[in-house]
Amino acid sequence: MSRSQTLTLSFEDRSQRSMPVSDAELAVRCRNGDKDAFEILYGKYSRNLFNYIYRMIGDYDRAEDLYNDAFMRVITARNYQPRAKFSTWVYRIATNLCLNELKKKKCESLDEKLEQGFGIPSPTISPEDYAGNGELTEKIKRAIDGLTDIQRAVFTLRHYHGLSYQEIAGVLRCPVGTVKSRLNSAILALRKTLREELKEVGANEMQSG
Amino acid sequence: MRCSLAKRRLTEYVYGDLGERERVGIRSHLASCSSCRETADEIRGILSMASAYVGKSPPAGAYAGLRERVASRPERRRFRLFVLERPIPAYAAATAIAILAVVSGISTRTEMARLERMNSLLSDSLRVLNSQFSGRSFSEPSDSAARDTLQPHTTGSEAPPDSG
């Protein structure tokens, strides 16, 4: 009997006895070729991880690449410390990847601007995108994309992933007070950007109400 | 509560992250301050608008791709030394023992050097005392102040200064 089969069997045995298996243990089993462990981890983290990366990067194709890298790192990395929650560690891996990617992207776009000249608008959003609800969603997306990288990370982790301030501080390795002030400044920036939309939504609600 | 303080806590208030005492404080402030009430409403509006930005599912092929990547991952062979397989407490204990050995070695050397110095000093003193008792190599001091002065390195062949 091969090693992976032994691990699978022992994992099944534990599952049948309803013994809790930690995520860290699942990652180790996954590393050793346990398909069940991979499926459990995938089911648990795939959607959240992908959404987080997508909201941070704002580009679906690039988010897919980073998501694959992040997931592989979660499975293959051996530096998980049980002091932090496993999910915090997973978000930290994703955050580091995203921040590195954004830094790289900024350098590239600066190089492009230097070559092409500043002030040239990039036609990434076509007029067809501004239709119905898609228009508002696109504005919100752009407003979130307009936040600084750290503000976006804090806002996304708090608002879309429901992490506590303590957990976000663990992901970003900064004090809780800093997390709170960054969240405040993120909301302030969103208010500035979306003030007009907010008025429109309010007026529509008044009319419909 | 002042507006500046309240405005700093409004996001936490809207998210419901404040403790009971602070929540009551902010609520009573909002009841009396229209500006802060407006800001709180705006934050609520922003957060509900942001919730409309729903996430996306991972691409359809992501699961199969990842599974394949995990399965085809080359088995890492361990070329580690046996010593590196030891757990951390073993390293800590080994380091502590090494430090103790070095420190005790140094202190033993220092102690030996000190003993040697004392030994030579003692032997010098004994030699001087011995020669004083025998009265061969010491002259009578000319004045009373120099009477107690020892001259440890004078030999018997040297003539005293005022022996005549």
**Cβ contacts of A42 on chain B, cutoff 8 Å:** 63, 66-67
Of all residues in chain B, the one with the smallest CA distance to A69 is B66
Topology of the domain covering A124-209? Arc Repressor Mutant, subunit A (1.10.10)
Q: pLDDT (tens digit, 9 = 90+) per residue, B62-79? A: 777 877 777 776 655 554
Q: What are the distances in angstroms from CA A41 to CA A38, B75, B102?
A: 5, 20, 49
Interface residue A42 vs chain B (CB under 8 A): yes
Q: Over the range B48-72, which residues count as b (16 or more CB within 10 Å of their CB) and which as e?
A: ebbeebeeeebeeebeeebeeebee
Q: pLDDT (tens digit, 9 = 90+) per residue, A53-88? A: 999 988 888 888 899 888 888 887 776 676 778 888
**Cβ contacts of A71 on chain B, cutoff 8 Å:** 66
Banded pLDDT at A187 (limits 50, 70, 90): very high
Interface residue B133 vs chain A (CB under 8 A): no
Average pLDDT, chain A: 77
Arithmetic mean of pLDDT, A113-117: 48
Arithmetic mean of pLDDT, A137-157: 91
Report the predicted TM-score, pTM, of the whole model to 2 decimal places: 0.62
**Cβ contacts of A54 on chain B, cutoff 8 Å:** 55-56
Q: Where are the domains of chain A?
A: 1-122, 124-209
Q: If one looks up domain A1-122 in CATH, what number appears?
A: 1.10.1740.10
Measured between CB atoms, which of A144, A183, A201 is closest to B45?
A: A201
Bigger pLDDT: A154 vs A137: A154
Interface residue A37 vs chain B (CB under 8 A): no
Angle formed at CA A120 by CA A117 and CA A121, multiple of 5 degrees? 155
| In contact, B58 and A70? CB cutoff 8 Å | no
CA Rg value for chain B: 45
**Cβ contacts of B59 on chain A, cutoff 8 Å:** 60, 64
CA A83/CA A152 separation, integer angstroms? 26
Measured between CB atoms, which of B50, B62, B70 is closest to A140?
A: B50
